[in-house]
Amino acid sequence: MALTTGIVGLPNVGKSTLFNAITQAGAESANYPFCTIDPNVGVVDVPDERLHRLAAMIQPQRVVPASFQFVDIAGLVKGASKGEGLGNKFLSHIREVDAIIHVVRCFEDENITHVAGQVDPASDIETINLELVLADLETVEKRIDRVQRQKKSGDKQAIAEYEVLVRLQAVLAEGRPARAAGLDQEEKHIIKSLNLLTMKNVLYAANVSEEEMARADKNPYVQTVKRIAAGEGAGVVTISAQVEAEIAELEGEERELFLQELGLETSGLDRLISAAYGLLGLITYFTAGEKEVRAWTIREGTKAPQAAGVIHSDFERGFIRAEVVGYDDLIACGSLGAAREKGLLRLEGKDYIVNDGDIMNFRFAV
């Protein structure tokens, strides 16, 4: 699945440093605004201990983790919705992602210029959010003008869309995100083609210095980000982009020792990736055999034929049945053969909703 999470924020908050650490893709990072103009894209493996346990059990020829894309989008500034700082181009990049990671600067450093002259997470968040809201308001108002003409002819679809758009307009005009309109699934589907920026889920990444990492919970800037996120129903992950860049260069035991020295069980990046994966409403199922053990990404609530289609469209088109065993059941049994003997390997049909951790084998005919 080509699902993407966009990394956004003001210039010089640590977005590109974080992106480099996540993907090790070598995105340019420099101490001046608009360093990043075209978005950098990197594919990220989703950390999942279950995959490694399955591989240890089955001993396949290769192991393929689940993954998705992170997109490093250039820093936004006040007035971006009106084109300031190449804002229109940047906003169009955000429109193309599935969810947003909003990096917020929570550290002081006189050697790193802040675009507004001082570190103020509340103001930084307000600046970004307002620009996204204003861009969405313009999109909605343009659509209202078009739908209004269709509505006069009695077009039922136009009437339904108009009612949703008017609700969105009222919320956006108050400076609140489209998410705050409380649309149901049917209403969201009606306006899906607008791809509204503030309808996307948001995860805040509170970026602290290496020195602050051990006491990040007491950092007043981090506390501000958490308070704002709680009011929005958004998540927060506290990280140090600089530390993560150092961790990303280490492997194996050396990496584990460095984490221990910092008093961390897992890297901030692992937590951020996992949180972003959850933010997109994704789950993982596995295929397991001698040739390959592989994690596949699907949306929660996906039925078996559509899950099969992630592997190949022929699997969905010719779907017959799926052989399924739960992850915990398989681990308890010790092998697929033992799970089959105990009746835990079952056949499921077209209406089966895939669970996170299912190990599946699809039967199909085309």
The verdict on whether residue 13 carries a ligand-binding annotation is yes
Task: Return d(Cα 205, Cα 183) in angstroms, integer.
Answer: 26
Task: Return d(Cα 40, Cα 194) in angstroms, integer.
Answer: 24
β partners of residue 100: 6, 202
Closest CA to 103 of 315, 260, 276: 276
The verdict on whether residue 12 carries a ligand-binding annotation is yes
- Alpha-carbon separation of residue 106 from 98, 202, 204, 246 (angstroms): 25, 18, 11, 19
Task: Return d(Cα 279, Cα 281) in angstroms, integer.
Answer: 5
Closest CA to 247 of 14, 18, 6: 18
β partners of residue 69: 4, 43
The verdict on whether residue 226 carries a ligand-binding annotation is no
Task: Return d(Cα 267, Cα 243) in angstroms, integer.
Answer: 9
Can you tell me which residue has the tokens 């972003």?
276
Please compute Rg for the chain using Cα positions.
Answer: 23
The verdict on whether residue 284 carries a ligand-binding annotation is no
Instruction: Say if strands 99-105 and 4-8 run parallel, antiparallel, or are unpaired.
Output: parallel
The verdict on whether residue 17 carries a ligand-binding annotation is yes
Instruction: Say if strands 67-72 and 4-8 run parallel, antiparallel, or are unpaired.
Output: parallel
Closest CA to 2 of 299, 234, 218, 245: 299
Whether the CB-CB separation of 66 and 48 falls below 8 Å is answered with: yes
Instruction: Say if strands 319-325 and 235-239 run parallel, antiparallel, or are unpaired.
Output: unpaired
Cα first-last separation, the chain: 23
The verdict on whether residue 343 carries a ligand-binding annotation is no
Whether the CB-CB separation of 36 and 16 falls below 8 Å is answered with: yes
Binding residues: 12-17
Binding residues for ATP: 12-17
